[in-house]
Structure 1
Amino acid sequence: MKRLLLWALSALLLTFPATAQDFIPDASFYGENYWTPDTLGNHRVVISVKTPATVTEAYIPWRRRDKDPHQKGIIVMNATTGKIVNNVLPMEINREYGIIRFDAEENAGEYYVYYLPYHTSGGPYPKVNYPQQPDKADPQWKAACSAIPEGKAPRATLVRFESLGSFNSFYPMEIIATEKEKQALMDANSDAPFLLLPEDRKYPIRMFDELSYRQVAKGATGEFFGEADLNEYYVLQLGLWAFKRAVNGAKVTFTDLKGKDGSIIPASAMTCFNTEGMDWLGRPMHPIVDVNKGRIQPLWIGIQMPEHAAKGLYTGTITVSDPVGTQQVKISINLSDNVLVDKGDSDLWRLSRLRWLNSQYGVNDDLVKPFTPMTVTGHTIGVLGRSITTDNLGLPASIRSYFTEEMTSLGKDAKEILAQPMRFVIRQNGKELPIVITSPFRFTRQEKGIVSWTASGKAGNLNVLVDAHMEFDGFMSYQITVKAEENTQVDDIALLTPMNASTAKYRLGMGYEGSLRPKSDKWKWDVDRNQEGFWFGDVNAGMQCLFRAKNYRRPLNTNFYKQQPLNMPYSWYNEGKGGISYKETGKQVNIETYSGKRNILKGEELHFNFLVLVTPFKPIDTMKQWTDRYYHGYQPAEKLKDSDAHAYQAVDVVGETGANVINLHHGNAINPHINYPFFRPAFMKEYVDQSHAKGYKVKIYYTVRELTNHAPELFALKSLGHEIFSPGKGGGYTWLQEHLDDDYIGAWFVDAYKDAAIVNTGISRWHNFYVEGLNWLTKNVGIDGVYIDDLAFDRNTMKRIRRVLENNRPDPRIDVHSANQFNPADGFINSAFLYMEHMPYLDRLWFGEYFKYEKSPAYWLTDVSGIPFGMMSEMLQNGGNPYRGMLYGMTAREPMESVPSQLWKVWDMFGIKDSRMMGYWVSYNPIKTGRNDILATTFVKEGKVMIAIASWADKDSDVTLQIDWSKLGIDPGRAKLTAPAIKGFQEGFVLSPKDKIRVPKDKGYLFILE
């Protein structure tokens, strides 16, 4: 200790080196490296100590973007020994620089200063925090260190800044400018209302609250120069810095770009994605761009270069203005004579795919398979398997289904869903106000894929306008506007929906899991629950009703519902007075969606919107169910000398299970990053081509719920405010916190690829990008469809997806997986209810994690199977229950379970693809058990039948099959009942059809009767 004090006194004579203002952050000081563990942080400074010293001072001009560096710790490591230095004392820590002192007595040489070390919980949703500086220094050392005056300790030399790989680097767009540098730029442009700082696409503006050193070094030159190719979609950016005042309602306009020979690139070829575009429904949009004082707003500009034009320099101007100020930038583009056939899409760095944000691919009313053109006869509108007849106000008076109980075909006899016409009622002073028709029902549009109509009436002082349309899949949208001519008080405004009790057998929604419908119930709006209506129905007839108003915004789902919950529709909700009640009376169920008492002011409009989906949507394609066998996962190949053989080997492994449809997830060598499957298209195409050569289909994980942080367009998308990315509290994996600051929702994380996603909003132009991306993948990679992990878009986007696939691929496939969303985090919503609007366009469901396979047959049928909606499903959680699953034609998937492949062998041995499936719900099913807790589904062929039996009984129980031999064409005297041996499912044995069958609790059997 005496030696330390003597050294400290002698250090007073040393001089303090130059300050950080002399440091120029050019590329020579920034590099990348790799170290472990990564919890040391993603960033470090390499410094050099010339002479060992008990106290050495390091001055670090790090120019940090994080807002609170003084609250985060640092770690000093001896580069020679790899030891952590405990004697460390931060003297001053701010965003521009840090001054630290540390013990370098052990040896001279290089030391590492890690300045963003963190703690992480790990897992797919990591919680990461940056701890404060730990106090590990020896107290005597710290006292002596503190006694040394500023600038008198020996100074370490800055060598370089390093990031853990290039992706973590802050250089150059996240190296902040100092306050002095920003002030100099402001002083030099004091007369400007705001500044425009152009940037090349290679350097996306990443900070919106700070200028980078690169920006202040370049200054506000008012000029931009770029180089482009013919037919390229060229993008650039203007950083609008509101240094003096807020900029409100920024507008962007263009002039033509003119070449020397008189040729032009017209202004019409240019767009600013921040101020204009086309939404996911094909409607023009003009977002309002407001920039608070001090913020930087990137304005991303796209220019479609001509395919044929003279090479050379083209110049013009871009003008940015608000109501009180204007700035211009001269644009010069040197156009080459090289032609890009794909507008630049093959080169991700060009960011040409930003134009996909405004794509209108598939925005039309064209039919998709298996739907048929709509028909209109009088007031009756027909679609595949269903029809509705309206009354004079345009409301459904009759809704019919022509699906048979087997759900594989249509019948001649209709099943009526309504017991009486639906009615919109207004009650006042204890009485119902009659609605007098003022403009009778009339069609406004009749096409193959959509039919629209309107009508209006009057009830007292209230005008009622009905605008509605129906689409080819059985979807109906009603917009009912109630407008007051005078101040009016009403007791209630309600929609009455009387359903046939025999049709309304099961229910979904209204706060319950799928079940048989009770005789009566009441439901109230609750923001904690993502519920907005009901589905009542049977296997072959039903209807979903959803109640909305103009304030509807698609909620987030799958763990994120509470961050963006359902907006209560102000018309139906009515400050908590609204709700739904129903009661079975005789042969009908009277359902009333009410809104309660209210005062309506003169001129006020209320929007009582509701949607109707008539189920089922289409006949079940059992052939797909029996012949599409899923392998869910990427099977990597071993490293082989013959590079062309590796994909073949991987595909062969899939084929050995009996699977023939491969779902290629993300987080693997072919598709590393979530929902951006464009990084390795050649590798993916090789895998797809070789799968096709084996006769297998390949679908990829691709959806819009969240987006990888590796997406090249990430910061351009962030510049659009909350249009693409949901607002949130930030957090999550380190990269997100270090490069996005806050105001986002961290999502799924895959550690192997450091792939951290952020959550998208429910509806945005990202849906356009997604559809165009799918178009690109089907054409350039040859994928056969998509595997969608929970649906975050609406039915309109799903229709476009189906159109893309049917236009580009023969016999495409879409399957949707969902975890059970009936829980607090997801708003207690049935996955089947939530995704019902998408089911007309799906080929298969996979419901999924956390589904309650121990629950009743009614739950299986409605919440899991998909059968009442015209499709079929599969199981996941713990393999499901294979015995009960067979009642609904379901298995699990390979390679997650071993049972599916064993069942598939029996299916093929029996010839299930040529059979007729008759579930236990089919009234004319030829084989029954006589019990409600042990059920049987039959798969009938000529001369033999496969029988699936499954039990919900609370103990092992006996059943004797009740067989209608006349329907089977089998001689009962010669018939035998065989339980084939199925590994992992059942042992083999033979019975007489008359024998009692002992069915184990929660299990069952698969028999062949012949």
Structure 2
Amino acid sequence: IDAKITKTAYDYMLFVLRKGDAIYERTMVPFRLIEVYLDAYPRFLGEKILFNVQTELIAGKYGDIKPALTLSSPDGREMMRVPVTGENMEVPFASRTAPAGEYKARLVGADGTVVSELSINFPGLGEWYTAQFPEEVILPPFTPMATTGSQYDMWGRSYIYGNSVFPARIKTQNADFFIAEPEVLVDGAPVPGAGFTPGKSAPHHADFTARAEDGRCEIQASGWVEYDGVSYTKYKVALKAGVDHLALRFQMPAAMMKYLHTSRGDSWGAKRTERLNEGRTVVSFYPMVWVGMEDKGLCLFTETRRTWTAPAKEAFIITKQGDKAEILVQIAKGLKAGASLEFEFGFVATPVKPLPADYPMNIFGDRFCMLMRRPGHAPVDAIALCHARASLGGNYFDMDWCKHGEDNLRQNINDVKKAGTRGVQYICGHYLTEEYPEAAAFADEWKMLPEHTLDYEHDGRRFVMYDACPASHANAYIQLKLREILKKIPFDGFYYDFGTIGFCSNKNHGCNDRYPILAQREFYRRTALVIYQSGIKEPLIVLHNTDSVQVPA
């Protein structure tokens, strides 16, 4: 148990397992007191280091020694000396100009006594910190987006805005998805549109703003749409009068709303996939909800419901009656006059791209199956999984203990090519091992919170990997490692284990109670770009998501 115990008078800790007033277990846990007076928590990307000083323990053992906190550079020069003013201290650290190396933090008494010291490794800000992944490259099989006024056309779909904050029409595969314009409902009545203004546009990205207003509220929208059909908007609602209920309504033909699919992403089983029956279906909050039929559909999504005040258990109300159907998205309840509300919402119509030319025979499997391929017969595998055959932490075979993985992967890829199959290398999601100095130094700023970890062993030692959030700089760090692999061994793409994205609350990289779906999408876009730029004109990414598909990502 990682717990700071600052009083020596305690005999044991008491662990209690309870639910409500019922107690199921009590366990006395012995502990050992370790004299650690100083802890450091680097926030290098925030250009600071946080320190925790056990002032009470120091005073109990040394008396009033008026300690100072010092920080020395790798060459031994004292960079900073400040008096200890409390248990929690924050000191600046010029990460962008500081040399890489081992820094020393010390607690020093007024008489020069060193009470405690620790080392802080700063690996420097590498190429990953400023790496660019051009957004204007249209990756196959997508096509450039065409913008004509308030109409956005991308492969297979059109989004046509009218005079309000949602598209008046969405066409997918030449079929209209709406039977009425989507609406923002205030106490059950729609807020009329007040204007749509196209912004800057390019073949890969277009911006827009929009307004809706009446005597009850004013809504301002600022959004974008991109060439894969993903659109995301931030809304600001200013209340002129008290409002009991604010919701979004999407109405569509019942025949096109045959199935429901949702995914939370925290685990493969955190989803609903089912047929929608006549009547009312209540769906609790999921960051992504898709409705549709066999060959087309509409995905609604948001990265956060942090500002939503409507009950999460009834976030989506789906109603099918006769030939009509609707989705009601419940955003807020009990808003007062003069209050304001901000929320985010996005959508993408499906399908998002054409099926592969060899569909449905684009079968994915293990590389061993490809040996059963026979010319002139149906393929056993069209895409084969290849391994570096190193422990989990050795996916990138760039440390001494796992360099044999390069030869293993090269042999795997050669075997795959001989069989006329395309090969993808196994990658353990965006997990990073703290064997990498950067992964250790920036862990608190890169990892997902709540934390997800895996462990592995080599050379008789156990190591830990953490799931790095794609919204952090770890995204670029991983892509550069993939780029280096492709320089050594050209092949067709990558297989990502743990292919879904869950909840993250790590404010150190900007996730504030958020499902970083768009960051996951950007992670995969960058991977496709890295493969494409390596010379592979049809980049392959295979995801292990166990039917918990997250459409926008």
TM-score normalised by length of structure 1: 0.41
1:619 maps to amino acid: P
8 Å Cα contact 1:774-1:804 kept in structure 2 = yes
Partner in structure 1 of residue 510 of structure 2: none
Shift of 1:682: 5.3
> Whole-Å Cα distance in 2 between the matches of residues 392 and 296 of structure 1?
64
Aligned counterpart in structure 2 of residue 569 of structure 1, from 275, 282, 306:
306
Partner in structure 2 of residue 447 of structure 1: 202
Partner in structure 2 of residue 615 of structure 1: 350
> Whole-Å Cα distance in 1 between the matches of residues 497 and 279 of structure 2?
35
* Larger strand proportion of the pair: 2
Partner in structure 1 of residue 441 of structure 2: 716
Q: Please list the CA deviations of residues 923-952 of structure 1 after superposition, one character each: whole Å capped at 9, or x if unmatched.
A: xxxxxxxxxxxxxxxxxxxxxxxxxxxxxx
8 Å Cα contact 1:195-1:243 kept in structure 2 = no
1:425 maps to amino acid: L
1:205-216 pair list within 5 angstroms? none
> Whole-Å Cα distance in 2 between the matches of residues 586 and 660 of structure 1?
43
Q: Please list the CA deviations of residues 841-879 of structure 1 after superposition, one character each: whole Å capped at 9, or x if unmatched.
A: xxxxxxxxxxxxxxxxxxxxxxxxxxxxxxxxxxxxxxx
Partner in structure 1 of residue 246 of structure 2: 493
8 Å Cα contact 1:464-1:482 kept in structure 2 = yes
Partner in structure 2 of residue 432 of structure 1: 189
- Paired residues in the alignment total 460
Aligned counterpart in structure 1 of residue 425 of structure 2, from 700, 720, 741:
700
Q: Please list the CA deviations of residues 604-656 of structure 1 after superposition, one character each: whole Å capped at 9, or x if unmatched.
A: 32123211011011111042753665325xxxxxxxxxxxxxxxxxxxx7753
Instruction: Give the 3 Å change call, closer, same or farther, for CA 295–619 of structure 1 in structure 2.
Output: farther
Partner in structure 1 of residue 86 of structure 2: 245
Q: Please list the CA deviations of residues 885-926 of structure 1 after superposition, one character each: whole Å capped at 9, or x if unmatched.
A: xxxxxxxxxxxxxxxxxxxxxxxxxxxxxxxxxxxxxxxxxx
Partner in structure 2 of residue 390 of structure 1: 161
> Whole-Å Cα distance in 1 between the matches of residues 478 and 235 of structure 2?
33
Partner in structure 2 of residue 419 of structure 1: 179
- 1:683 aligned to 2:404? yes
- 1:812 aligned to 2:547? no
Partner in structure 1 of residue 42 of structure 2: none
Instruction: Give the 3 Å change call, closer, same or farther, for CA 356–831 of structure 1 in structure 2.
Output: farther
Partner in structure 2 of residue 516 of structure 1: 275
8 Å Cα contact 2:453-2:465 kept in structure 1 = yes
- 1:831 aligned to 2:548? yes
SS in structure 2 of the partner of residue 250 of structure 1: strand
1:138-537 pair list within 5 angstroms? 192=68, 194-199=69-74, 221-222=77-78, 243-245=84-86, 250-253=91-94, 351=123, 355-362=126-133, 364-402=135-173, 414-427=174-187, 432=189, 434-435=191-192, 437=194, 440-484=195-239, 486=240, 488-509=241-262, 513-523=272-282, 525=284, 531-537=286-292
> Whole-Å Cα distance in 2 between the matches of residues 585 and 771 of structure 1?
48
> Whole-Å Cα distance in 2 between the matches of residues 544 and 818 of structure 1?
17
Partner in structure 2 of residue 780 of structure 1: 488
Instruction: Give the 3 Å change call, closer, same or farther, for CA 683–747 of structure 1 in structure 2.
Output: closer
Instruction: Give the 3 Å change call, closer, same or farther, for CA 458–299 of structure 1 in structure 2.
Output: farther
> Whole-Å Cα distance in 2 between the matches of residues 660 and 66 of structure 1?
58
2:256 maps to amino acid: T
> Whole-Å Cα distance in 1 between the matches of residues 284 and 327 of structure 2?
16
- 1:798 aligned to 2:524? yes
> Whole-Å Cα distance in 2 between the matches of residues 785 and 753 of structure 1?
31
Shift of 1:588: 2.0
8 Å Cα contact 1:583-1:589 kept in structure 2 = yes
Q: Please list the CA deviations of residues 394-425 of structure 1 after superposition, one character each: whole Å capped at 9, or x if unmatched.
A: 411111112xxxxxxxxxxx112112211112
SS in structure 2 of the partner of residue 686 of structure 1: helix
Instruction: Give the 3 Å change call, closer, same or farther, for CA 442–660 of structure 1 in structure 2.
Output: closer
Greater RCO, CA 8 A, separation 6+: 2
> Whole-Å Cα distance in 2 between the matches of residues 363 and 298 of structure 1?
38
Q: Please list the CA deviations of residues 295-343 of structure 1 after superposition, one character each: whole Å capped at 9, or x if unmatched.
A: 9897765xxxxxxxxxxxxxxxxxxxxxxxxxxxxxxxxxxxxxxxxxx
Shift of 1:757: 2.7
> Whole-Å Cα distance in 1 between the matches of residues 99 and 184 of structure 2?
46
> Whole-Å Cα distance in 2 between the matches of residues 628 and 803 of structure 1?
23
> Whole-Å Cα distance in 1 between the matches of residues 492 and 83 of structure 2?
48
Q: Please list the CA deviations of residues 148-181 of structure 1 after superposition, one character each: whole Å capped at 9, or x if unmatched.
A: xxxxxxxxxxxxxxxxxxxxxxxxxxxxxxx99x
Instruction: Give the 3 Å change call, closer, same or farther, for CA 241–299 of structure 1 in structure 2.
Output: farther
Instruction: Give the 3 Å change call, closer, same or farther, for CA 359–703 of structure 1 in structure 2.
Output: farther
> Whole-Å Cα distance in 2 between the matches of residues 662 and 300 of structure 1?
40
Instruction: Give the 3 Å change call, closer, same or farther, for CA 457–592 of structure 1 in structure 2.
Output: same
Shift of 1:599: 2.4
Instruction: Give the 3 Å change call, closer, same or farther, for CA 701–656 of structure 1 in structure 2.
Output: closer
> Whole-Å Cα distance in 1 between the matches of residues 274 and 475 of structure 2?
34
> Whole-Å Cα distance in 2 between the matches of residues 242 and 628 of structure 1?
65
> Whole-Å Cα distance in 2 between the matches of residues 590 and 95 of structure 1?
61
**Alignment root-mean-square deviation, CA:** 4.2
Instruction: Give the 3 Å change call, closer, same or farther, for CA 242–610 of structure 1 in structure 2.
Output: farther
SS in structure 1 of the partner of residue 529 of structure 2: helix
> Whole-Å Cα distance in 2 between the matches of residues 584 and 481 of structure 1?
30
8 Å Cα contact 2:296-2:351 kept in structure 1 = yes
> Whole-Å Cα distance in 1 between the matches of residues 525 and 155 of structure 2?
16
Gaps of 5+ in 2: 13-30, 37-56, 102-106, 108-114, 264-269, 374-380, 502-518
8 Å Cα contact 1:476-1:611 kept in structure 2 = yes
8 Å Cα contact 2:183-2:190 kept in structure 1 = no
Partner in structure 2 of residue 581 of structure 1: 317
Instruction: Give the 3 Å change call, closer, same or farther, for CA 609–271 of structure 1 in structure 2.
Output: farther
Partner in structure 1 of residue 447 of structure 2: 725
Partner in structure 2 of residue 673 of structure 1: 393
Shift of 1:708: 2.8
Instruction: Give the 3 Å change call, closer, same or farther, for CA 296–520 of structure 1 in structure 2.
Output: farther
SS in structure 1 of the partner of residue 530 of structure 2: helix
1:523 maps to amino acid: V
Instruction: Give the 3 Å change call, closer, same or farther, for CA 364–538 of structure 1 in structure 2.
Output: same
Shift of 1:452: 1.4
> Whole-Å Cα distance in 2 between the matches of residues 271 and 456 of structure 1?
50
> Whole-Å Cα distance in 1 between the matches of residues 449 and 295 of structure 2?
42
> Whole-Å Cα distance in 2 between the matches of residues 581 and 785 of structure 1?
40
8 Å Cα contact 1:496-1:591 kept in structure 2 = yes
Instruction: Give the 3 Å change call, closer, same or farther, for CA 623–673 of structure 1 in structure 2.
Output: same
Identical positions, percent: 16
Structure of higher CA gyration radius: 1
> Whole-Å Cα distance in 2 between the matches of residues 191 and 753 of structure 1?
38
8 Å Cα contact 2:165-2:196 kept in structure 1 = yes
1:197 maps to amino acid: S
1:355 maps to amino acid: G
8 Å Cα contact 1:520-1:581 kept in structure 2 = no
Partner in structure 1 of residue 43 of structure 2: none
Shift of 1:674: 5.7
8 Å Cα contact 1:468-1:477 kept in structure 2 = yes
Shift of 1:367: 1.4
Partner in structure 2 of residue 174 of structure 1: none
Instruction: Give the 3 Å change call, closer, same or farther, for CA 584–96 of structure 1 in structure 2.
Output: closer
SS in structure 1 of the partner of residue 442 of structure 2: helix
Shift of 1:803: 0.8
